[in-house]
Chains A and B, each alone.
Chain A
Amino acid sequence: MRARVFVTLKPSVFDPQGKTIVDALHSLGYAGVEDVRQGKYFELEVAAESTDKARSMASEVADKLLANPVIESYRIEIG
C-alpha cells in the first residue's frame, strides 16, 4: 500500500525558499501567484492490512522522523 506524506512549514513559520520562488515568479510576470510555500513529499510503500493501519504507520513515522513538529506539519494520503 502506498502512503503519501506531504510535509510543509507551519503557517506561522517564515519560508525563505518559498519567498524566493514567489519573487522569481513575479519577475517572470506571474503577478497572479500571490504566495508560495515550499514543502517535502514522501512516498512510502507500506506493508499493512488496511488503510487505517497504513495511515497510522505513516503518521507514526511522520511524527518521529519525516516532520519536525516545531516548524512543520504534515498531511497523509493513502492509496
Chain B
Amino acid sequence: MRFAVIVFPGSNCDHDAYYAAKEVLGQQAEFVWHKETDLRGADAVILPGGFSHGDYLRTGAIARFSPVMDAVRTFAAGGGPVLGICNGFQILLEAGLLPGAMLRNRGLKFVCEHVHVRVEQTDTPFTFACRSQQVLRMPIAHGEGNYFTTPEELRRLEQNRQIVFRYVDPAGVATDESNPNGSLQSIAGICSERRNVVGLMPHPERACELSIGSRDGLVMLESVVKAHAAGTLAAAGSASV
C-alpha cells in the first residue's frame, strides 16, 4: 500500500508519519511537496501535523490554497482515505473537507501531553481495526484544538455518526477535566459524511512504538492497511489522480 505524506512549509510531523507508514508498518511511503499537483498513485493520503505557513492568519488557512489540495480534494471526492493529523485536521477544516473550525484552546495554553480518546465509530478507514469504544492513549501538541461548530452542524454530525473520537479519562468517560482544550462535546476527531476523510488533533503517528511511550496509534494506520487489503476502500480512491 502506498501512503502519500503531504509536506507544507512548516509541517514538522511529516517524517513521523512517513516513518510510521514505512518503517513500522512496512508499507510504501512518499513525501509529496505542497506545490505538486499529483499524488503519484497513492492509496492513502496523510496531512501531517506542524505549523503550515507559520499558522499565519488562522491555522490551516493558507495551506488550504496549496496546489496539492486540488489533488487531495479530487482524491477524497473519489472515496480515497485521507487522514489529517493536528495541523492536517485544521487544514481539512479550512478546506471545507470536514465541517467546523478550531478556536484557541480554552486555557489559552499550548497543550503538550498524552491524552486518552475513545473510538466512537469503527466504520472509517482509520478506525476499521479498532474496537468500538476502545480507549487510545496518544499525544497532543496544539494551541488551537478547541473544536467548534454551529448547533445545526453538530446535530448533523451526531445524526450521521461523524464524531469519531472524544477526549475521555483513562476509564473511557468524557468529563470536563479530560477535555484538554474546551472542544465542543469533547470532540477530538471527526469524519466526512462519506467517512473516508478523517481528522483528529491527537497524533497516532507519534504513538506507534512503545519506546516512545505508546503504540496505541498504530491501530489507526493498521486500519487503513487492513481496509485496503480487504478491498473496502473505494476503487476511485486507489486510482492515480
Contacts and interface: CB of A to CB of B under 8 A. Distances in A.
Interface string B76-115: 0000000000000000011000011101111110000000
Contacts of B180: none
Contacts of A17: 104, 108
Interface of chain A: mostly helix, strand, loop or mixed: mixed
Contacts of B94: 68
A13 B101 CA distance: 11
Contacts of A66: 57
Interface in A1-53: 9, 13-14, 16-17, 20
Interface size range on B against A: 20 to 34
Given A70-B149, A70-B150, A65 B101 contact: no
Interface of chain B: mostly helix, strand, loop or mixed: loop
Contacts, number: 34
Given A68-B94, A70-B150, A71-B148, A16 B61 contact: no
6 contacts: A13-B103, A13-B148, A16-B105, A68-B101, A70-B150, A71-B101
Interface residues of A, number: 11
B73 interface: no
Interface of B: 57-58, 61, 65, 93-94, 99-101, 103-108, 146, 148-150, 182
A35 to B, nearest CB: 17
A17 B58 CA distance: 14
Nearest to A70: B101
A9 to B, nearest CB: 8
